[in-house]
Structure 1
Amino acid sequence: MNADESSLGRCPDCGEQIPEAWLLIEYETDESETEIWAECPTCEDVVAPE
C-alpha cells in the first residue's frame, strides 16, 4: 500500500489493510453511527473493516 493512501481498516477474514479505494458503501445507522462495507483486495470478500 502506498504511504499516502488511507486505510479503511483491516479485513476481519485475512487481516490485510483495506485501502479507501475499495470502499463499496458508507451509511448512517439509526443510532447515528457510520458503518462501511468494502471489498478486500486480498481475499476478495465484501467485509466490514475492523
Structure 2
Amino acid sequence: MNSDASELGRCPECGERIPETWLLIQYETSDGKTRIWAECPACETVVSPE
C-alpha cells in the first residue's frame, strides 16, 4: 500500500496508480488485516492494489 492518502496503490495487472476514488470495497479480515478491492482506471480490472 502506498502512504499517499489519495492513492490506494498500483494495479498488479498494468502498474497504473489507483486513486482513492476508485475504491469498491474495504473490509477487515478475521485476523485484523484490512483488505481492499478497487477498479483500475487504466485497464478496467477489479484488483487488490499493491
Q: TM-score, normalised by structure 1?
A: 0.89
Report runs of 4+ in structure 1 exceeding 6 Å deviation. none
CA distance in 2, matches of 1:16, 1:6: 14
Gaps of 5+ in 2: none
RMSD of aligned alpha carbons:
1.1
Size of the aligned set, in residue pairs, is 46
Gaps of 5+ in 1: none
CA distance in 1, matches of 2:9, 2:33: 16
Q: TM-score, normalised by structure 2?
A: 0.89
Determine the structure 2 residue equivalent to 1:25. 25
Bigger Cα Rg: 1
